[in-house]
């Protein structure tokens, strides 16, 4: 077990030593640092005593570095340079110029704007690396609260958990109807909501929070309750169920861009316009709050321009 007092060397000792090593004269080094010579010499003596080695060889007209002093000079400069770099890095992070962000999202909802947003972000904040992870909305909410991601891009709902987060509306997508190509309504450019009264529906609770409640409210506009026959993990499985003829699906318009062979998409007419709000969520008073706010602003700008 190590005995004796703990080292008390401070950055000031290193600054004094480097000045002395470069000037090879304590008086000149003290003048350079705007301190008097006796306290300066005392700091050098304290440093040598703490290290247990002679860093300087005293001569009549000044000093010379010992072998240990020459080696220590290289490391001392490295320590101060690293410290200066750490300070500047912290300041850049604080100004939102440097750092890393992890963003949770679902490709089915973000593929039409996220790439453009990342391209713009790279131009305006090249020092901030953004890592994107695909995950469902509930996983995003947990990850935000746990600090595993900084931003989530998800469907805005009235789920109480969102009250613990900051939420910014990015865009509102129109609702589209996904039908098998063989469906009797497939030949229409627009499908009226009442015409879906007897249809089986594919559920998307894992993609849209509280999807069942939302679908119930939408269908009640036309006086019926939807009959959900299958629950899909996401957009791809939902469209597979539709293509197989198990049911139809109501989803946000970006789903139209998914490659499908046996599914057609049609606009939905409802007594009241139906849209699905997509937003960015982040933790209140979380790390990198300045950077997060800047990134969300970038997302909002791209969505507004789309």
CATH at 190: 3.40.190.10
State how far the Cα of 121 lies from the Cα of 130, in Å rounded to an integer: 9
Shared-domain flag, residues 162 and 179: no
Which range in 84-88, 233-237, 266-270 is most confidently predicted, on average pLDDT? 266-270
pLDDT of residue 154: 93
If asked whether residues 192 and 267 sit together in one domain, one would say: yes
Are 177 and 217 within one domain?
yes
Give pLDDT tens digits for 189-223. Answer: 999 999 999 999 999 987 787 888 899 999 999 99
Residue 252 in this model has a pLDDT that exceeds 70: yes
pLDDT of residue 287: 64
Whether residues 112 and 228 share a domain: the answer is no
Q: What percentage of residues in the chain have a pLDDT greater than 90?
A: 68
Same domain, 178 and 267: yes
Which among 42, 68, 94 is the end of a domain?
94
249 found inside a domain: yes
Tokens 């990342």, located at residue = 118
Closest CA to 95 of 125, 120, 117: 125
Q: What angle do CA 213, 155, 167 make, to 5 degrees?
A: 120
The pTM (predicted TM-score) of the whole model is: 0.70
Q: Is residue 1 part of a domain?
A: no
The pLDDT value given to residue 259: 78
- Is residue 195 located within the same domain as residue 271? yes
- Residue 270 contacts residue 222 (beta carbons within 8 Å): yes
Confidence class of residue 2 from pLDDT cuts 50, 70 and 90? very low
More reliable by pLDDT, 48 or 209: 48
In a domain, 2, yes or no: no
pLDDT confidence tier of residue 1, bands split at 50, 70 and 90: very low
Q: Give the domain range for residue 50.
A: 11-94
162 and 108 in one domain?
Answer: yes
């Amino acid at each position: 077990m190590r005995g004796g007092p703990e080292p008390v060397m401070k950055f000031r000792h290193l600054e004094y030593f480097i000045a002395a090593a470069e000037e090879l004269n304590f008086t000149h080094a003290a003048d350079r640092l705007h301190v008097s010579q006796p306290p300066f010499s005392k700091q050098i003596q304290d440093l040598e005593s703490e290290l247990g080695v002679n860093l300087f060889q005293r001569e009549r007209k000044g000093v010379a570095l010992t072998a240990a002093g020459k080696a220590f000079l290289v490391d001392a400069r490295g320590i101060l340079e690293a410290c200066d770099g750490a300070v500047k890095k912290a300041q850049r992070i604080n100004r939102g110029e440097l750092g890393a962000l992890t963003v949770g999202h679902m490709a089915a909802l973000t593929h039409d704007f996220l790439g453009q947003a990342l391209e713009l972000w790279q131009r305006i904040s090249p020092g901030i690396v953004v890592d994107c992870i695909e995950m469902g909305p509930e996983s995003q909410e947990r990850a935000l609260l746990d600090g595993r991601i900084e931003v989530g891009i998800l469907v805005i709902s009235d789920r109480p958990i969102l009250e613990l987060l900051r939420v910014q509306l990015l865009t509102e997508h129109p609702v589209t109807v996904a039908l098998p190509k063989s469906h009797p309504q497939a030949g229409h450019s627009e499908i009226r909501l009442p015409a879906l009264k007897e249809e089986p529906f594919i559920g998307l609770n894992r993609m849209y929070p509280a999807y069942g409640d939302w679908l119930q409210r939408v269908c009640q506009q036309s006086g019926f309750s939807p009959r959900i026959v299958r629950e899909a993990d996401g957009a791809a499985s939902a469209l597979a169920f539709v293509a197989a003829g198990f049911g139809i699906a109501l989803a946000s318009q970006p789903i139209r861009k998914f490659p499908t062979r046996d599914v057609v998409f049609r606009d939905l007419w409802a007594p009241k316009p139906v849209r699905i709000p997509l937003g960015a969520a982040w933790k209140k008073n979380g790390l990198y709050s300045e950077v997060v706010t800047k990134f969300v602003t970038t997302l909002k700008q791209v969505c507004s321009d789309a």
